[in-house]
Amino acid sequence: MTAAPLPYRVVGNRAESTDTRTLELEPAGEALTGFRPGRFAMLYAFGVGEIPVSVAGLRHGVLSHTVRGVGAVSRALCAMRPGAQVGVRGPFGTEWDLASADGDLLVVAGGIGLAPLRPLVRAALSEPEAHGRLNVLIGARTPQDLLYRRELAAWGRPYCGVTVDRPAPGWEGEVGVVTALLDRASFTPQDTTAFLCGPEVMIRATARELRHRGIPPERIRISLERNMHCATGHCGHCQLGPLLLCRDGPVVGYDRAEPLLAVREL
């Protein structure tokens, strides 16, 4: 981890939807180390600013970051073409810690919350004997907003379900909230570890439903987002109760986070 951004070169820029792209970055010099599923980096668009972006993949030294263009910095990053340089600081924060998850795995993602869960799913698929059944439940606004569509067919061990809020003509999949997919998943509640990422309203509703179905709160892990600036635990912008989410998060146990989820962001 470095305090100053290191230069990385854009080697790929793939459209995921109309406003979301996945950047592939390789080091232009010194490479950062320590990237693991759930952690994040600060991406700097030179002359514009920097934002926190979760790690969406790391293969052969190439970092993947999925960015939704909603502000000046994110739009600048989405517009970058191969050969452009990006500053990268990190990695920061806590990880999903798949190694400590025994039994069945339940991954629930909403919208761009699928991005930080993608490397977790890939890691679980690479070592199927290390865990029980893997269920991936994905919610998106529309079929066009669904991320990583080309990968999803390989994620169904034994079940990968997708639902959307607003179907498009020709959509033959599920419509509705992501928790409706739980009835099709195969898992033993008391022996299941759940990983949740997405809008906080989805996280709260899903965590409550998982508790109702018998998954212990200490086995539910959620990724939270607040207004991260320094990423080193000094500025306090990302404080949530006693937690500084850039340091103590973004991945937090639900048993620790549940009483804090009613705290509004400043």
Domain boundary among the residues 92, 112, 144 is at 92
Query: Quick one: 105 and 84 in the same domain?
Result: no
Domain limits at 144? Answer: 98-260
Query: Quick one: 87 and 102 in the same domain?
Result: no
Known binding residue 78? Answer is no
Q: Please, is 107 exposed, middle or buried when counting C-beta atoms within 10 Å of its C-beta (0-12, 13-18, 19+)?
A: buried
CATH number of the domain bearing residue 225: 3.40.50.80
Q: What is the pLDDT of residues 93-120, one digit of tens each?
A: 999 999 999 899 999 999 999 999 999 9
**SS3 state of residue 127:** coil
Query: Quick one: 84 and 106 in the same domain?
Result: no
Q: Is residue 195 part of a domain?
A: yes
Query: Quick one: 119 and 223 in the same domain?
Result: yes
Q: What is the pLDDT of residues 36-76, one digit of tens each?
A: 999 999 999 999 999 999 999 999 999 999 999 999 999 99
Query: Quick one: 147 and 238 in the same domain?
Result: yes
Percentage, residues of the chain above pLDDT 90: 80
Known binding residue 238? Answer is yes
Query: Quick one: 79 and 104 in the same domain?
Result: no
pTM: 0.94
Known binding residue 197? Answer is no
**SS3 state of residue 192:** strand
> Is the pLDDT at 2 greater than 70, yes or no?
no
State the virtual CA torsion across 83, 85, 89, 95 in degrees, nearest 10.
-30
Q: What is the pLDDT of residues 141-185, one digit of tens each?
A: 999 999 999 998 888 777 899 999 999 999 999 999 999 999 999
CATH number of the domain bearing residue 30: 2.40.30.10
Domain boundary among the residues 28, 57, 92 is at 92
Total count of domains within the chain: 2
> Is the pLDDT at 5 greater than 80, yes or no?
yes
